Homo-oligomer: A and B are copies of this chain.
Amino acid sequence: MKRRTTSSTTEILDLLKASGNAMSHDMIQSSLDSKVDRATIYRVLNRFCEDGKVHRVVGDDGKQYFAICSNCGAKKQVHSHNHIHFRCLQCGTVECLDRELSIPLPEGYVAKVHNLVISGFCNECS
């Protein structure tokens, strides 16, 4: 399945690049200039994840957030981004912290996805 570039894909990718933070579907939808269907946004984002262009974090609010991390751009093929995200309970911003931490697992355990989110108040809101 070859990928095609459409106005939706470029707009969404540009938006994520410009933002720098992790964005939820509804953040993306309301930030887009043109009207793009909900389902399309989800499909675009899922494709980006498959292609390693973007990674997904699930917040403690149960919602998915999508981000292009500047510092993990180099190693795109690594599915398991083991850095931490911070979600502000006040302003809703979800940012990547540049903390790379290696967590030793018990014998016989294999890690596939790291979902590490700390929620609280960012420096703007605390």
Given the contacts A58-B58, A60-B58, A62-B63, A84 and B103 also touching, CB distance less than 8 Å: yes
Q: Distance in Å from the Cβ of A78 to the closest Cβ of chain B?
A: 14
The count of chain A contact residues (Cβ–Cβ below 8 Å) is 35
Given the contacts A105-B86, A108-B123, A109-B86, A117 and B115 also touching, CB distance less than 8 Å: yes
> Once the chains bind, are A103 and B101 in contact (CB under 8 Å)?
yes
Given the contacts A58-B62, A116-B116, A123 and B103 also touching, CB distance less than 8 Å: no
> Once the chains bind, are A115 and B59 in contact (CB under 8 Å)?
yes
Q: How far is the CA of A40 from the CA of B112 in the complex (A)?
A: 34
Interface string of A101-126 (1 = CB under 8 A from B): 10111111111111111111111001
> Once the chains bind, are A109 and B123 in contact (CB under 8 Å)?
yes
A64 on interface, CB distance cutoff 8 Å: yes
A75 on interface, CB distance cutoff 8 Å: no
